Structure 1
């Protein structure tokens, strides 16, 4: 399994901060904010199981996943093997956008 380097994690945080500046509100009142998925980083970058907080946030952000996958700054993280593992463990299928 490929480990995520410290610089990659900082890149995720930087991109997430950028996304905070451009929050998108969906009609079902979900605020798309990739920073809310930061609780999933430990599980994405290692072989640990995702926390209940991670899974809860991932379910909340499910309507936003297509937007994250279409964002060139976020796609590589959302579409990574670690992120797929976490989504699968949380029972949240990644959408086909």
Structure 2
């Protein structure tokens, strides 16, 4: 392998190491409904605006929302009109269908 081949290989390894952790972190969300507790007031009250912490946690937990919707204890909160308002206010996509 020449110098240019080695340089390409090194750049590939560096790029992979730099990009991979963020991909893994995004894919490895730990689904924990308690993480959405900063959103409790906004979800249960039509007049409360979600906090930045709520929006951050909601975005983090977005991959878990379908699982929460299937949970009989969480359904009434996650499927509520206020939960959708909170998601809209936070700019977080809310699943319309779950399989």
Shift of 1:93: 2.1
Larger Rg: 2
Shift of 1:77: 0.8
- In structure 2, distance between residues paired with 1:70 and 1:48: 26
Matches within 5 A, 1:1-97: 28-46=27-45, 47-95=47-95, 96-97=97-98
Shift of 1:34: 0.4
- Say how many residue pairs are matched: 71
TM-score (norm 1): 0.68
Does the 8 A contact of 2:43 with 2:77 survive in 1? no
TM-score (norm 2): 0.67
- In structure 2, distance between residues paired with 1:44 and 1:28: 26
Which has the higher mean CA deviation after the structures are superposed, 85-94 or 31-40? 85-94
Greater fraction of residues in strand? 1
Greater fraction of residues in helix? 2
